Amino acid sequence: MRDRKFYRIFDYDKKLLPNAHLALLESQVDSTESARDKTGASIGFPGWGILYYLLLSHLDRERDELIIETGTNEGCTTIILAQALIDAKCPGKVATIELDPENIEKAKLNFERAGVEARINLHEGSSFDVLPKILSDRKDIRFAFLDASHFIDDVRREFEIVLPHLADDALVLFDNTYKIARKNEDQRVNGFLRSIKDQYGGNLINLEFVSWFTPGLAIWQKSPKL
């Protein structure tokens, strides 16, 4: 692996965060070590702001939206997604999937303290098993954040499960897009995204200077509604 890069910001005004509980957690964070302890492996700031405003600007307030997230971790990013639904006064919920039971318990507590638990359905298990079940009767998903396993085959498999259930104007987000792998290693998220347009069409935007372990946040859209 190449050297890891970190673009998570710590010295910012916590009032910029849309949820008071998340701001409280972040008030105790001033380094990568304390971030891992307080908020888990979340993307942090400014990534949370990007997700919040992107979703807030994309929600159809006349529809019952289902937001997909894989890799709940300790639930901090899930809180951001749920808060966007609440602030937009949009019907719907976040369906989030986590494999680790310890993370699930921490996430549940965070959801409750953040006051967003009513807008979240937390599913325990592998995204490969859970996604087909929660998507079985949906063909209109407009926002998905795929952030579970970052190995190239796993990223592709998650995307291919979600793809048939997406609306044409759906946004699919990927974290940790930086090219961290060396030539003989698994190419991870970066490797998948390098082929996504050729294989699946659409458009891709990569935001390099955000997140950590490793950085980069990418947005894919099949066909914008104009």
Which tens digits make up the pLDDT trace of 75-129? 999 999 999 999 999 999 999 999 999 999 999 999 999 999 999 999 999 999 9
**pLDDT confidence of residue 208:** 96
- Ranges in the chain, pLDDT < 70: none
**pLDDT confidence of residue 225:** 84
Q: Structure tokens of 133?
A: 């079940």
CB 176 within 8 A of CB 215: yes
Q: With 0.75 as the threshold, say if the pTM is over it.
A: yes
What does the domain layout of the chain look like in residue ranges? 45-221
Within 10 A of 111 (CB to CB), how many other CB atoms are there? Answer: 23
**pLDDT confidence of residue 10:** 95
**pLDDT confidence of residue 59:** 96
Its CATH class, for the domain covering 45-221, is: alpha beta
Cα–Cα distance for residue pair 19/21, rounded to 1 Å: 6
**pLDDT confidence of residue 71:** 98
Segment holding 188, helix H or strand E: helix 188-200
**pLDDT confidence of residue 213:** 86
**pLDDT confidence of residue 168:** 93
